Amino acid sequence: MHLNQLYGYFGRRKTLIETRNVYNKDLIKYYGNYTIFSEIKINENITTILMSSNLDYNLINEIKDNTNLNLISGFKNVKSHVGIASALTSYARIEMMELKMLLTKLNIKLYYTDTDSIFTDKEIPDYLIGKDLGQLKDELNGRVIKKAYFLGIKKYGYIDSNDNVHSIFSGVERNSLTWNEVEQIANGFTVTKLVPLKFFKSFTTLNISIKNSLMTSIIFNPRKKLINNFYKPMKINNKILISFNYYLKIIKYRIISLINKYNLFKLK
């Protein structure tokens, strides 16, 4: 839990998304200094806007150097560090890898692991379980698993020795699926669930709306193929990445050339 909190803190993006209530008479000021994604009119005097409060600092400086524009960006200092965030997850993987190697040497079969959990076919040594920092916790308190489906990261379900159904599927509430639904997902069927929500963020329009409920679909569609107990990695087309960066540079230079062509830096 502590590792996840630290990873989330240091892994934050410096480009922030901010929601702000502004007076309608001041809207033009925000459109001139920020990237506005959407606006919702509250009343005749106030509008709620969704905006980017941290623009790309390097890009702004580059445009200033090429256009003589006196751009002002209210950059907020975000205490993030990709190196520290990467180190946290790396050390977590190292700890789990050492644990998996130990259990393998003890002839204990592993069914599923992630950064903070592990499922095995036998009991693990007692000294690994406890309440101290670094020890594992027995979530079932001595009970064992009778049946299980492990379909991917945060996508699994099982029945314990007391016939209780447990399900962990990202996007829906913990233990909200029946065993029949878990089996349907494992067999390739799509299961639709009603998820109660208060706030819903649309990644298409970047709007936030209030909804009483939301329908979500769960399907087993792994991006990595498991062949002979080995994952076959995905192929990445490097040509697409190179082309994308190339076109970004073209767009940037076109913006700079248009500003210089029409002498926009002289406008106030």
Residue 152 to residue 107: CA distance in whole angstroms:
23
Mean pLDDT check: name the lowest of 37-46, 81-90, 137-146, 214-223: 214-223
Helix (H) or strand (E) holding 209: strand 208-210
Neighbours of 185 (CB within 10 A): 21
pTM of the model: 0.57
Instruction: Identify which of 157-161, 226-230, 256-260 has the greatest average pLDDT.
Output: 157-161
Residue 7 to residue 9: CA distance in whole angstroms:
5
Which residue shows structure tokens 């630290």?
6
Kindly report the CA angle at 66 between 65 and 69, in degrees rounded to 5?
70
Per-residue pLDDT band at 39 (split at 50, 70, 90)? confident
Residue 202 to residue 142: CA distance in whole angstroms:
42
pLDDT, averaged across the chain: 76
pLDDT, tens only, 2-16: 555 666 667 666 666
Residue 155 to residue 224: CA distance in whole angstroms:
14
Query: Identity (one letter) of the amino acid at 161?
Result: S
More confident position, 228 or 109: 109
More confident position, 129 or 246: 129
Neighbours of 198 (CB within 10 A): 7
Q: Which of 82, 84, 83, 112 is nearest to 96 (CA)?
A: 112
What's the Rg (C-alpha) of the chain?
26
Residue 152 to residue 130: CA distance in whole angstroms:
27
Q: Which segments of the chain does DSSP mark as H helices, in order?
A: 2-10, 27-33, 57-67, 82-105, 179-186, 238-261
Residue 11 to residue 30: CA distance in whole angstroms:
28
pLDDT, tens only, 229-246: 566 666 655 555 555 566
pLDDT, average across residues 78-101: 81
Residue 156 to residue 67: CA distance in whole angstroms:
55
pLDDT, tens only, 103-119: 999 999 999 988 778 99
Residue 158 to residue 146: CA distance in whole angstroms:
7
pLDDT the model gives residue 265: 47
pLDDT, average across residues 25-54: 79
Q: How far is the CA of 242 from the CAs of 62, 154, 218, in angstroms?
A: 21, 33, 34
pLDDT the model gives residue 103: 92
More confident position, 192 or 206: 192
Kindly report the CA angle at 161 between 114 and 177, in degrees rounded to 5?
60
Residue 262 to residue 161: CA distance in whole angstroms:
75
DSSP 233: P
pLDDT, average across residues 194-208: 62
